[in-house]
Amino acid sequence: MIRRALLLLLLAPALHAEDAPVTMPEGDAERGRLVFGQCRTCHYPEREMGHNNGPSLHRIFGRVAGKQAGFDYYSDTFREAKFVWTPQLLYLWLEDPLAMFPGTTMMSRGVPDPQQRADLVAYLKRASVRGSQEPMQ
Ligand code: HEC
């Protein structure tokens, strides 16, 4: 179950999600590449592939949620969101996407397994760095 108090902490603009007490296992990008298979139906992390049924996940960490140009299908929940995607927040969200954002239009049951989620986060970091000179957070 997602701990609501922790989520409120993470979503509070005054607080840095990086400082929040989220324990995330060490992730393995290569294993995460396989976990990402279920997301690839709707998302690409490669910049040149752009948006699909879901928005691009290229360099998703550090972006404000729901604001990518060229993706016209955000829910109101994401369109109005004011938080920034961090590895910790994505890790928490994907435990049960509808529990955190009931209004989301993302039809995914998420990734309930903590290790698989951490692997997925590691993969998204790596996939975003490739082909880009800009440093990741
Ligand atoms: C059936 C299609 C589908 C699947 C499968 C899916 N997504 Fe999504 N995703 C979406 C849609 C649609 C949105 C926009 C949601 C909204 O606006 O409520 C979204 C939004 C997102 C966002 C926010 C992007 C932004 O610009 O704020 C992230 C991050 C994300 N998805 C990650 C994932 C990951 C990781 C997986 C695999 C576990 C996954 N998604 C599986 C369709 C999908």
Domain boundaries, the chain: 27-129
> Of the CATH numbers 3.40.50.1370, 3.40.50.2000, 3.30.70.20, 1.10.760.10, which one belongs to the domain with range 27-129?
1.10.760.10
Q: Binning pLDDT at 50, 70 and 90, where does residue 5 land?
A: low
pLDDT in the model for residue 128: 81
Evaluate if residue 29 carries a pLDDT over 60: yes
CA 36 to centroid of ligand 1, rounded, Å: 11
Query: Which residue among 106, 119, 126 has the greatest number of ligand 1 atoms within 8 angstroms of its CB, and so is best to mutate?
Result: 106
Q: What's the CA-to-centroid distance between 54 and ligand 1, angstroms?
A: 5
pLDDT of residue 9: 60
For residue 120, the ligand 1 atom closest to its alpha carbon is 35
Q: What's the burial of 30, exposed, middle or buried (CB within 10 Å: 0-12/13-18/19+)?
A: exposed
* Exposed/middle/buried for residue 55 (C-beta within 10 Å: 0-12, 13-18, 19+): buried
> Which residue, 61, 49, 101, 53, is CA-closest to 80?
101
CB of 65 within 6 A of ligand 1: the answer is: yes
Answer with the residue of higher pLDDT: 6 or 61.
Answer: 61
pLDDT at 6: 64
Instruction: Give the mean model confidence (pLDDT) for residues 27-51.
Output: 96
